[in-house]
Amino acid sequence: MSTTPRLPFRQSGSRHPLIRGGLAGRLMRGLTALGVLLAFVFASCESSAPLRAAIAPDSVVVVPVNGAIGPGSADFIVRSLQRAADQHAQLAILQLDTPGGLDTSMRQIIKAILGSPVPVATFIAPSGARAASAGTYIVYASHIAAMAPGTNLGAATPIQMGMGGAEPPGGGMPGLPSAGKPGLTGDDGASGAAGIASSSATAAAASNPSPSSAALPLDTQSTELRKQVHDAAAYIRGLAQMRGRNADWGERAVREAVSLSAQDALAQHVVDLIARDAPDLLRQMDGRTVAVAGGNVTLHTAHAPLVIVEADWRSRFLAVITDPNVALVLLMIGMYGLFFEFANPGFVLPGVVGAISLLLGLFAMQMLPVNYVGLGLIFLGIAFLIGEAFLPTFGSLGFGGVVAFVIGAMMLMDTDVPGYGIPLPMIAAVVVFSLVFVLGVSRLALRARRRPVVTGSEALIGSVGVVLDDGLQSEQPGHAPAGWARVHGERWRVSSTTPLAADQPVRVTARHGLTLSVVPVATVATAATAAVPMTTAMAASGASTASRAAGAGVPGVPAAPGTAPGQTQQGEPS
C-alpha cells in the first residue's frame, strides 16, 4: 500500500490562467507594448508629414473644403495654413463648398486666417457650390474673396440651439427688424420703409414699454436667440470693416438670412473676383497687393505652381468620429464592451474594444455641441437595458431603457446645423439592435440555467471512477475503508462502507470536503436489476397456469393456439 501523500487536483488540465502570467501573458503584454509603440511612431510620422512635404517657395497651396464645417475640417484647414506658412508659399486658396457648420469650428478657422502671414483667398467653387451660413463668415474673413459662376453665398443667421429649434411665439425674432434697417438696400422701396417703421416702433417701445414688450426679456428662448443674432451680426460687420467689404449686406445675411449669386455678390462688393477655376483666379490676382499680419504682400501668381493639399489620416479620422451618428455608435459599443468584460472577467477583448470605443466616443462628444442631459439619458437607457437581462423586472427596465435612450438620442445634439443631427432611422436602428442584444443575452442566460452542471461538486455526484493502488482497506479498526480512486481523470481520496479491490469501478454518492463517498458499481447494478428475475418468474408461472386451465376446459379461458380440446400444450391426453 502506497504511503506517499497525494493531493487531489481540483480541476483537470493546466491551472495557469489564460492571460495573466506565464508565456501567454508575457506574449500578450509584449504585443500590446509593440502595438502602442508602433501606433505612436506612426502617428508622429504622419502628423509631421505635411511639414516635411516639399513645397516650392512662392507656390500656391489649394485647400479643398467640402461638406459641413466641423472639428475635422477645422483641424485640416488650420494645419494646412500652418504648412503654407512654414513652406513660404505666397498664397493659400480655400476652395469652399459648404452648407454651414459649427460656430466653434468656424471661429477657429477665422482665427487662423486672420493670424496667417500668408494671404488667404476663399474661392467658392466649382460651379454649383455654395458658402452658406458659416461659409459666409469665412468668405468675409479672407484676404481675397472669389466665386465661380453659378455659386451663391449668404443665409448666415445662427440656427436656434436646443431640441426642436422652433421659433418663439409670434413667428419672428423679438426685437429684431424683419425687413431691414435704415440705410440698407432692400428688394424694393417697401422693404426700406418697413425697416424704418420697424426701427421707429422699436424706439417707441423702448421709451414707452408695454406689458407685452416688458415681458419679452423674461422669455429665455427669445432672449437667447436675440443674443446670438446680435453677436453674429457684430462679428460679420467687424470682418467686413477689416477687409473693406459690404458690411450692411453681411448684417442682412445674418438678420434676414438673405443670399446672393456670384454676379450680385460682385456688384454689391461682397466678393472681389469671379473666376472659372483656380488657374483663372491666379491670373486675375497677379499683381494685387494684400495686407496680412506681417505687412503688405504683392502677389505674383500668374505662373505660380499649384499644390493641392489632401486631407491626411488624422483629418479623416476626426471627420469620421465627430459625426454624431458614429459617436453615438461608439458610445454604445463602449458600454456593451465594458459590460461584457465586467460580467465575464478574463475575455480581455470586449474590455479593450469597449474602453477604446468609449474614450473615442467621449472625445468626439467634447468636440461637438452636446446636450449633456441627453448624453446622461443615453447612458441611463443602456444601463436599464443591461439590467433587464439579469433582473426579474418583467420588461419594466427594458421599456424604460428604450424610452430613455430614444429621448436622449433626440436631445443629444444641441444644434440644428445640417449634418450634425441624429436622424430618427438611426435612432430606431440602434434601439432595435439594443433590444435584440438584450433579448439574445437573456435567452442565452435561460438556456445556460437549464443545462446540467458539468463542473464543481454537483458534477461529481453520480460519476463513475476506478479504485487505484491497493484498493479500499480499513486503516484502523472501526474506521470505514479508505483509499484512492480516479474520477474524471483526477485522483481523489475516497471512502466506502465495504472494502474494495483495486481496479473495481465505483460510483460517487457524496462529497465531504476533499473526500468522496463511493459505492461499488456492481452493487448499484445488482440493486437495479434485482427485480428482473422475479418479474420473469412471475410471468412464466402465470403463463403455465393459463395453459393448464385452458387444457382442462375451464370456462372462459381460451385454449392456447395450436392445442386441440382435451390435450395439453405438449400434446398429451389430459
Q: What CATH number corresponds to the domain at position 98?
A: 3.90.226.10
pLDDT of amino acid 387: 79
Task: Note whether residue 209 is domain-resident.
Answer: no
Widest distance between CA atoms in the chain:
144
Lowest mean pLDDT segment, chosen from 180-194, 256-270, 348-362: 180-194
Task: Note whether residue 528 is domain-resident.
Answer: no
In this structure, are residues 497 and 510 in contact, taking their beta carbons and an 8 Å threshold?
A: no
In this structure, are residues 127 and 156 in contact, taking their beta carbons and an 8 Å threshold?
A: no
Q: Does residue 435 sit in the same domain as residue 475?
A: no
Domain boundary (520, 536, 564) is at 520
In this structure, are residues 482 and 492 in contact, taking their beta carbons and an 8 Å threshold?
A: no
Higher confidence at residue 367 or residue 516?
Answer: 516
- Residue 101 half-sphere exposure, CB side, CA atoms within 13 Å? 31
Query: What is the total count of domains within the chain?
Result: 4
Task: Note whether residue 535 is domain-resident.
Answer: no
116 torsion bin: left (phi>0), alpha (psi -120 to 50), beta (else): beta
Amino acid identity, residue 425?
Answer: P
Domain boundary (404, 423, 451) is at 451
pLDDT band at 11 (very low <50, low <70, confident <90, very high): very low
Whether 140 shows a pLDDT value over 50: the answer reads yes
* Angle, CA 33 vertex, CA 29 and CA 35 arms, to 5°: 115
Task: Tell me which residue range forms the domain holding 490.
Answer: 463-520
Lowest mean pLDDT segment, chosen from 122-126, 192-196, 408-412: 192-196
The pTM (predicted TM-score) of the whole model is 0.60
Cell (9 digits) for 192? 426700406
Domain containing residue 505: CATH number = 2.40.50.140
Euclidean distance between CA atoms 393 and 197, whole angstroms: 64
Higher confidence at residue 190 or residue 143?
Answer: 143
Strand, coil or helix: what is 45?
helix
Euclidean distance between CA atoms 385 and 404, whole angstroms: 10
Q: Per-residue pLDDT averaged across 519-546, rounded?
A: 54
In this structure, are residues 157 and 127 in contact, taking their beta carbons and an 8 Å threshold?
A: no
pLDDT band at 328 (very low <50, low <70, confident <90, very high): confident
pLDDT of amino acid 513: 84
Task: Note whether residue 490 is domain-resident.
Answer: yes
Euclidean distance between CA atoms 152 and 120, whole angstroms: 19
Q: Per-residue pLDDT averaged across 544-567, rounded?
A: 45
The secondary structure element, H or E, covering residue 505 is strand 505-512
Q: Give the per-residue SS3 of 264-288.
A: HHHHCCCCCEECCCHHHHHHHHCCC
Q: Per-residue pLDDT averaged across 307-332, rounded?
A: 86
What's the pLDDT tens digit per position in 97-109? 999 888 889 999 9
Q: Does residue 143 sit in the same domain as residue 280?
A: yes
What's the pLDDT tens digit per position in 229-262? 999 999 999 999 999 999 999 999 999 999 999 9
In this structure, are residues 121 and 93 in contact, taking their beta carbons and an 8 Å threshold?
A: yes
In this structure, are residues 559 and 551 in contact, taking their beta carbons and an 8 Å threshold?
A: yes
Q: Per-residue pLDDT averaged across 477-494, rounded?
A: 86
Q: Does residue 398 sit in the same domain as residue 441?
A: yes
pLDDT of amino acid 437: 75
pLDDT of amino acid 221: 59
Cβ count within 10 A of residue 486: 14
Higher confidence at residue 120 or residue 500?
Answer: 120
Q: Does residue 443 sit in the same domain as residue 495?
A: no
The secondary structure element, H or E, covering residue 435 is helix 424-450
Q: Is residue 121 classed exposed, middle or buried when 0-12, 13-18 and 19+ CB atoms within 10 A define those classes? A: buried
Q: Per-residue pLDDT averaged across 414-424, rounded?
A: 68
pLDDT of amino acid 485: 92
Whether 491 shows a pLDDT value over 70: the answer reads yes
Whether 94 shows a pLDDT value over 90: the answer reads yes
Task: Note whether residue 32 is domain-resident.
Answer: no
The owner of cell 471512477 is: 465
Q: Does residue 298 sit in the same domain as residue 338?
A: no
Helix, strand counts (H, E) of the chain = 19, 16
Is the Cα dihedral 188, 194, 196, 199 positive or negative?
negative
Q: Per-residue pLDDT averaged across 383-392, rounded?
A: 75
The owner of cell 486672420 is: 114
Q: Does residue 226 sit in the same domain as residue 344?
A: no
DSSP-assigned states of every residue in 8-36: PPSSSS--S-SSSSHHHHHHHHHHHHHHH
Euclidean distance between CA atoms 312 and 49, whole angstroms: 9
Cell (9 digits) for 259? 443670399
pLDDT band at 188 (very low <50, low <70, confident <90, very high): very low
Q: 213 vs 171, 209, 219, 377, 494, CA distance in Å?
A: 15, 6, 11, 37, 94
pLDDT band at 514 (very low <50, low <70, confident <90, very high): confident
Q: Does residue 381 sit in the same domain as residue 412?
A: yes
Task: Note whether residue 182 is domain-resident.
Answer: no
Whether 194 shows a pLDDT value over 90: the answer reads no
pLDDT of amino acid 423: 79
Whether 458 shows a pLDDT value over 50: the answer reads yes
Strands across the sheet containing 152-154: 130-132, 152-154, 259-261
Cβ count within 10 A of residue 48: 10
Q: Is the peptide bond before 558 cis (omega within 30 degrees of 0)?
A: no
Q: Does residue 83 sit in the same domain as residue 157?
A: yes
Whether 201 shows a pLDDT value over 50: the answer reads no
Higher confidence at residue 342 or residue 504?
Answer: 504
Task: Note whether residue 395 is domain-resident.
Answer: yes
Q: How many residues does the chain have?
A: 574
Q: Does residue 153 sit in the same domain as residue 265?
A: yes
* Angle, CA 327 vertex, CA 336 and CA 51 arms, to 5°: 125
pLDDT of amino acid 219: 54
Lowest mean pLDDT segment, chosen from 263-267, 356-360, 412-416: 412-416
pLDDT band at 110 (very low <50, low <70, confident <90, very high): very high
Domain boundary (520, 540, 562) is at 520
The owner of cell 516639399 is: 54
What's the pLDDT tens digit per position in 252-261? 999 999 999 9
pLDDT of amino acid 230: 92
Q: Does residue 109 sit in the same domain as residue 226?
A: yes
pLDDT of amino acid 402: 81
**Given the DSSP bridges, would you call strands 91-97 and 60-66 parallel, antiparallel or unpaired?**
parallel
Higher confidence at residue 475 or residue 139?
Answer: 139
Task: Note whether residue 440 is domain-resident.
Answer: yes
Q: Does residue 299 sit in the same domain as residue 419?
A: no
pLDDT of amino acid 490: 87
Which own/partner pairs from 187-191 qualify as long-range (CB within 8 Å, at least 24 positions apart)? none
Q: What letter would DSSP give residue 119?
A: -
Euclidean distance between CA atoms 556 and 544, whole angstroms: 16
- Terminal-residue alpha carbon distance, the chain: 68
In this structure, are residues 135 and 96 in contact, taking their beta carbons and an 8 Å threshold?
A: yes
pLDDT band at 537 (very low <50, low <70, confident <90, very high): very low
Cβ count within 10 A of residue 456: 10
Across 195-209, 223-237, 409-423, 427-441, the highest mean pLDDT is recorded for 223-237
What's the pLDDT tens digit per position in 171-181? 444 334 333 33
Averaged pLDDT score across all residues of the chain:
74
Q: Per-residue pLDDT averaged across 507-534, rounded?
A: 71
Euclidean distance between CA atoms 361 and 331, whole angstroms: 5
Q: 41 vs 64, 125, 312, 442, CA distance in Å?
A: 28, 37, 16, 44
Euclidean distance between CA atoms 164 and 410, whole angstroms: 9
DSSP-assigned states of every residue in 448-503: HHHSPP-SHHHHHTT-EEEE-TT-BB-SSTTSPPEEEEEETTEEEEEE-SS-B-TT
Rounded percentage of the chain residues whose pLDDT exceeds 70: 66
Kindly report the backbone phi and psi dihedral angles of residue 181, in degrees, each rounded to the nearest multiple of 5, phi listed first: -150, 165
Euclidean distance between CA atoms 258 and 279, whole angstroms: 30
Euclidean distance between CA atoms 150 and 154, whole angstroms: 14
Q: Does residue 495 sit in the same domain as residue 511?
A: yes
